[in-house]
Amino acid sequence: MIVRLYLRRSKNDEGKQQYSLDMQNAGCRDWLRASPFAACKVVQYVDDGEAGDQFLTRAGLRKLLAEAEPGDVIACRDQSRLGRDAIEVTLVIRDLVRDRGCRLYYYASGQEVQFANAVDQAVTFIQGTGHQMELEAIRSRVREALRMRARSGRVAGGRCYGYRLERVADGPGRSYTLAVIDEAQAEIVRRIFAWRCDGWGLKKITHELNTERVPAPRAGRRGTGSWSPSCIRAMLQNQRYRGVYVHGKIKKVRRAGVVSRVTAEPTEVITVDLPEWRIVDDETWSRAQEGFAVASQPRRASAPAAKYPLTGIARCATCRGSVGVANCRSQRRTVKAYTCIHHHTRGASVCPVTIYQPIEDVESALIAYVAEHVLTPDVIAEMAREIRAAIEAQLPRREADATELERELRDVKAEQKRLTKAVALADDVPELVTELRQRAARARALEVQIATIRRAPSELRALVDQAEATVRDRLGDVRAALLDRADLRAVFLRLFPDGIEFRPVRVGERQVWRLEGGAAVGRVALNESDAWFNLGEPPSPSAEGSASNRDDDDTANKIAGMNPAALNTKPSEQAWFKLDRDPNGI
């Protein structure tokens, strides 16, 4: 039996002494000394800075839930530490106390939690409702304070091109941040609006700024250091440049422990006139909006699916930006061509590569190369033999302890059950579904291993034969799909998980793309759900048996001798492409 102490402090608890981690730690230890469990082994779980309604992202709580076993003692300050969402916290306590038979204590009241009948459940739920109401009250106070600041014009509203942030003192010991106009940047803003009013398109403005090497706004970690059409569009539509501050257009909502950002109702949005922020006059601002009418329609929730076989796979070797498809004129007709998107949208000063090579040209050359040099019948046969040899080498090592594997399988299944319950309660939680899928894959792998250990040698030989045949079929199918050009994009995605680099080279008079990359033949050949994939894996060494600590992807890759990456037929040598066919123009 183990005593497990749980401590949690959130940002909303700041300034409340009783919720400091030191106080919680001392409280737990005092309670423990006076309890009959003083001599037991103690494990402590801490979540610092985690909100009480986050149930999926709290690492400490997740670990506690993964490790608590029947008969264990769990202690924390009070129920609000476990969580501030009435339904979720009730489920956690039901799982621990009723389903697993753990004993749960709150040291603040000295009480042991009961969960035997409907009344116990109601008490837990009502306490949880109280804690949830407190959290909601704190959040609305914080929101209200922000809105007050916005109304009184004392607002910074984050970093924005054209303004700099200044600290302003307000009475003794207090200060706040204000945004004030930065004249040099404001001049650029005025030029952008003027160009737009002269009828310039977003791309032309972008090219001009990049050509003049005007420093671009900082865009966080994703920033590329250059101007982009989307940045120009956002600036032209920003009301701040005409002295109007709009607060609260996007709000955070929490559903099933996950925070997402949604558009707020118009009534929730605060609009404040801040004439000291004005950079352009109303007439200029309104004229700049002409032509944006279509864009102000509700936008698509997510980016459209990639249309061309190599978009999202191809990268420009010169600027590391993506290579995509654009129209170009060739022999008096318009054709689709692969080109560097940075060059195309941001101008030659951002990426000087001017290649527009017809997509048909690029794709045919790539298909021909892969069919002749990478996925050839010889390579396929060799790969199938290699995989057969790898599996056979593993067979003598399969004297594994089945009971160990069975114990792990039981743990994984119990966790699967818990996760299924959580998924049923919460709709649309990708993290939960991913975890559940990982457990399912692990359970399948364990079942296969256990079955294998108890198999007759003749059966094993049949399995190895089957493996070789399957690998050969699978690679053959990919080759056939490639030659038929059936769903090329799917084939390329499987073959080139690390992408393809497009490098500009000169061939005679012309510049063309040379494609370079590694083809993951081994990864195409093997599948984690194959019956023979885990054949040689020794029993899991994790003595704690806690499935949540294991990185399942890693497990799949560690399998000795069966590492799919290791089975690649030297990708760096095998699959270097060079496209040197002449493009049809440009």
- Residues near Zn ion (CB under 5 A) are 316, 318-319, 321, 340, 342, 351, 353
Q: How far is the CB of 516 from Zn ion (least distance, A)?
A: 14
Q: What is the CA radius of gyration of the chain?
A: 31
- At residue 278's C-alpha, the angle toward residues 277 and 283, to 5°, is 160
Q: Judge whether 468 and 384 are in contact, CB under 8 Å.
A: yes
Would you state the structure tokens that stand for residue 288, as one six-digit string? Answer: 């700049």
Nearer to Zn ion, 316 or 525 (CB): 316
Q: How far is the CB of 511 from Zn ion (least distance, A)?
A: 12
Q: How far is the CB of 213 from Zn ion (least distance, A)?
A: 17
Q: How far is the CB of 320 from Zn ion (least distance, A)?
A: 8
Query: How is residue 85 annotated by DSSP?
Result: -
Nearer to Zn ion, 311 or 318 (CB): 318
70 exposure class (CB count in 10 Å sphere: 0-12, 13-18, 19+) = exposed
Q: How far is the CB of 583 from Zn ion (least distance, A)?
A: 17
Q: Which residues contact 525 (CB under 8 A, 6 or more apart)?
A: 383, 384, 387, 471, 474, 475, 564, 567
- At residue 256's C-alpha, the angle toward residues 254 and 259, to 5°, is 30
Q: How far is the CB of 356 from Zn ion (least distance, A)?
A: 12
Would you state the structure tokens that stand for residue 518, as one six-digit string? Answer: 């590694």
Helix ranges restricted to H, 116-224: 118-151, 183-197, 202-211
Nearer to Zn ion, 504 or 571 (CB): 504
- Beta strand 111-112 pairing with 103-106: antiparallel
559 exposure class (CB count in 10 Å sphere: 0-12, 13-18, 19+) = buried
Distance CA 472, CA 463 (A): 14
Nearer to Zn ion, 8 or 343 (CB): 343
Distance CA 384, CA 476 (A): 11
63, 92, 492, 527 from 498: Cα distances, Å:
33, 41, 10, 18
Distance CA 431, CA 437 (A): 10
Nearer to Zn ion, 502 or 533 (CB): 502
Distance CA 123, CA 304 (A): 49
Q: How far is the CB of 298 from Zn ion (least distance, A)?
A: 33
> How many Cβ atoms from other residues are within 10 Å of residue 214's Cβ?
16
Nearer to Zn ion, 321 or 517 (CB): 321
Nearer to Zn ion, 216 or 316 (CB): 316
Q: How far is the CB of 341 from Zn ion (least distance, A)?
A: 8
Q: Which long-range contacts (CB under 8 A, 24 or more apart) does 547-554 make?
A: 547/66, 547/408, 547/411, 547/412, 547/415, 547/439, 547/442, 548/62, 548/63, 548/66, 548/67, 548/415, 549/63, 549/66, 550/442, 552/438, 552/441, 552/442
Nearer to Zn ion, 321 or 518 (CB): 321
Nearer to Zn ion, 316 or 419 (CB): 316
Q: How far is the CB of 210 from Zn ion (least distance, A)?
A: 13
Q: How far is the CB of 314 from Zn ion (least distance, A)?
A: 11
218 exposure class (CB count in 10 Å sphere: 0-12, 13-18, 19+) = exposed
Q: How far is the CB of 537 from Zn ion (least distance, A)?
A: 44
Nearer to Zn ion, 317 or 429 (CB): 317
Q: How far is the CB of 166 from Zn ion (least distance, A)?
A: 38
Nearer to Zn ion, 249 or 320 (CB): 320
**Nearest-10 crossing angle of helices 377-394, 457-484:** 160
How far is C-alpha 294 from the chain's CA centre?
A: 31
Nearer to Zn ion, 342 or 479 (CB): 342
- The amino acid present at 78, given as its one-letter code, is D
